A and B are shown apart, each in its own frame.
Chain A
């Protein structure tokens, strides 16, 4: 998979729920964030992420599962302004957040 995005390492071991990344704010409406976002789990443990408008933590039962090596791709306004991405994993994980104005993957 090749992703044209700027990457940041957002967390390396989140065995307790923690904020991984805060989406930059925008003065427009809630869902007008114009950049795309990729959340990649470098493993080795499964990562669970939450990014709901009311989310305050991530949990293994409620949140979106990203297996080791997997990615969650949010494109074209799916990311709320100032939204906080929370993550939790059962063991060591490495979270990479990629963002750009037009993320595409092959």
Chain B
């Protein structure tokens, strides 16, 4: 991960999973501004953020400002159009897991490259993922590790990514 000197902007089009956005230069205390330059909301936060717990940066709004920032900032784009595609097996999965098994054959709508949501949206424990591959034995492998724990028998949805864009600019106070 590169870090940028003061004043160097970084423009990010985040995926639906946590996407590294910015790490300020650690040589000085930084002030950073996060401006949404796209058409959709972008969520920012830590390395395991989701659309549920991320801080929304709205399109057309004022930039979000952080003074004294020293960590790494991650961003992700929202998802829309959720449609139930199936159910997970009764086995719970934990953070870092890269594959889950469904109770039935993986539907064609969850082919490699498809955006999906793991966990019921009735609660707050869901997250978006991208399918990397599937098997005939009902297993889905994701392009990135899960960032939340999920109870067994959870719902899996197909979804559509609504990609956003943010510009991050760092300065020094």
Contacts and interface: CB of A to CB of B under 8 A. Distances in A.
A59 B95 CA distance: 14
Q: Chain B: interface secondary structure?
A: loop
B49 interface: yes
Contacts of A50: 45, 53, 55
Interface of B: 29, 43-58, 61-62, 64-71, 124, 147, 173
B124 A56 contact: yes
Contacts of B45: 50, 52, 62-64
A72 B57 CA distance: 13
A79 B70 CA distance: 23
Interface of A: 1, 31, 41, 48, 50-57, 59-78, 80, 105
A94 B115 CA distance: 40
Nearest to B126: A54
B65 A52 contact: no
A75 B62 contact: yes
B68 A52 contact: no
Given A50-B55, A55-B53, A64-B55, A71 B46 contact: no
B66 A78 contact: no
B67 A62 contact: no
A63 B46 contact: yes
The 10 closest A-B pairs by CB, nearest first: A70-B68, A54-B52, A73-B65, A61-B48, A76-B62, A65-B71, A71-B67, A75-B62, A54-B124, A55-B53
Given A41-B68, A71-B65, 11 more contacts: A52-B54, A59-B46, A60-B46, A62-B48, A62-B49, A63-B45, A64-B46, A66-B68, A67-B71, A70-B66, A73-B65
A1 B65 contact: no
Contacts of A76: 61-62
